[in-house]
Amino acid sequence: MKFFSSNTPILYSGWIVLTIIVVAFLEACTPSNAHNDQLEQNPYLGINAPSFELPDYHGALYNSAQYKGKYAVIHIATTWCPYCNAEAPYLEKLYQAYKDKGVEVLIIDVKEDKELVKEKLIDRFNLSFPVLMDADGQVAASFAPDDVIPELARDEVMLAANLIIGPEGKIQFFSLLNTNDFDAQLIHLKSRLDALLQ
Amino acid sequence: MIGCHLLWLLGCSKEEQVPKTNDFVSFTGKNTYSIPSIQVDTLCLEFKVSEGFHIMSDEEKFAGITTKIRLNTPEGLSVGSPIFPKPKALQLRGATDTLSVFENHLEVLLPLQVINSGKKGNFILKGSLFYQACDSRKCYFPRELAFSVQLKCFNLSQPGE
């Protein structure tokens, strides 16, 4: 019996097409990878968040210890980051909606002049929660996992990241920017927050 | 046979290409240009934005860091303002915001005029492209790409290269 016949190319093409269809179906049925990572595979959940002390625009110092006993939503940003700008109005909405539930919101701005931050971030989006100045990027860098894009600077890895720190100081939500699955309206973060507040 | 195809395809789809940290934009123009003495000419600086990346355009109306050309203009040469191409509008996924960006090939025109070609008749024009890039995964701190071109003057009665 011949292993290859004159019909072999047609059959081979057919199997490839069938395989592609099956894989596409499986991919379509699989929930967003970013969401999956957050809920099931994120190795950073439950670990102690780094401590920090940073000034706001007015020079008032904010220490991570003062958030013990509360939930803190932290967004790491710059004024020029388009995804940070897209999220900013929703962070303000989130703060207004959750501040009476023991939830604090803050932005850590990385390596920018405070007057620029005031103009392009605080005033532009009318933010009523603290925007802290991480002048040398060290605090942002301290949140970055060592094994994520290791060739990038740690503070650069954290741009547009979102975290929830729990009342005991442990990370309860950790999301790095994924522009292919960008969650400007913070749907996943709010979902996690609601679950934590139950 | 199906299993092999499936495994192969899954393997390919799961493989992520990690971007190189500074390999966002490269200068692809010539190293040497011929320019006529006295007459106004236009130099075309060519850049290549790496596949999968975009850089913010030169339009100031957006809050991001705009792309700029910075020049160290040699004596005897007058250089006008860079002319950037029309940018592309990029809708942020999951948001209503629209960015103004450059992708793929970027050609920046530089009007220039030789005021005094001096004895050698050549100029070295050094400059840099200041830009801020994002890709499908992240946005990156601004970078600066240095470039240098040699400008060889010729008289109009003697055609250049």
Chain A: nearest CA to B24, how far in angstroms? 13
In contact, A95 and A192? CB cutoff 8 Å = no
- Using CB atoms, pick whichever of B93, B95, B132 lies closest to residue A80: B132
DSSP-based three-state secondary structure for B161: coil
What six digits make up the tokens of B88?
A: 């592309």
Q: Which residues of chain A have pLDDT under 70?
A: 1-12, 17, 19-41
| Cross-chain residue pair A82–B139, CB shorter than 8 Å | yes
Residue position matching structure tokens 């011929």: B34
Q: What is the dihedral of CA A16, A17, A21, A27, to 10 degrees?
A: 40
B130 touches chain A (CB under 8 A): no
Determine, for residues A179 and B137 on separate chains, whether the beta-carbon distance falls below 8 Å: yes
DSSP B37: B
Residues on chain B touching A181 (C-beta within 8 angstroms): 93-94
By the 8 A CB rule, do B24 and B143 touch? yes
Nearest CA-CA partner of A186 in A67, A98, A54: A98
Task: Round to the nearest angstrom and report the end-to-end CA distance of chain B.
Answer: 59
Q: Do A20 and B13 touch (CB under 8 A)?
A: no
Q: Which tokens hold the place of B92?
A: 């942020």
How many CB atoms neighbour CB A138 within 10 A? 15
Q: A195 — phi, psi (to 5°)?
A: -65, -35
What is the b/e burial string over B50-75, where b = at least 16 CB atoms within 10 angstroms of the residue's CB? beebbbbbbeeebbbbbbbbebeeee
Q: How many Å apart are CA B139 and CA B104, to the nearest integer?
A: 17
B134–A184 C-beta distance less than 8 A: no
Residue A14 has a pLDDT of: 73
Put simply, the answer to whether B138 touches A124 (Cβ < 8 Å) is no
Disruptive mutation site among B5, B138, B143 for chain A (greatest number of A CBs within 10 Å): B138
Give the one of A20, A79, A81 whose C-beta lies nearest to B139's C-beta: A81
- CA torsion, ordered B82, B145, B44, B122, to nearest 10 deg: 100
Residue B112 · residue B77 · CB < 8 Å: yes
Whether A165 and A171 have beta carbons less than 8 Å apart is answered as yes
Is the Cβ pair A23, B142 closer than 8 Å? no
pLDDT bin (cut points 50, 70, 90) of residue B22 is low
pLDDT 10s digits, B71-106:
999 998 999 999 999 999 988 877 777 889 999 999
CB B102 within 8 A of CB B108: no
A to B CB pairs, distance under 8 Å:
95
Using the beta-carbon criterion (under 8 Å), do A15 and B1 form an inter-chain contact? Answer: yes
User: Is the CB of residue A162 less than 8 Å from the CB of residue A71?
Assistant: no
Q: Which residue of A has its CA nearest to B1?
A: A15
Q: What is the average per-residue pLDDT within B139-159?
A: 83
What's the pLDDT tens digit per position in B102-144? 999 999 999 998 888 776 778 999 999 999 999 877 889 999 9
Quote the pLDDT of residue A157: 92
Chain A contacts in chain B segment 26-55 (CB below 8 A): none
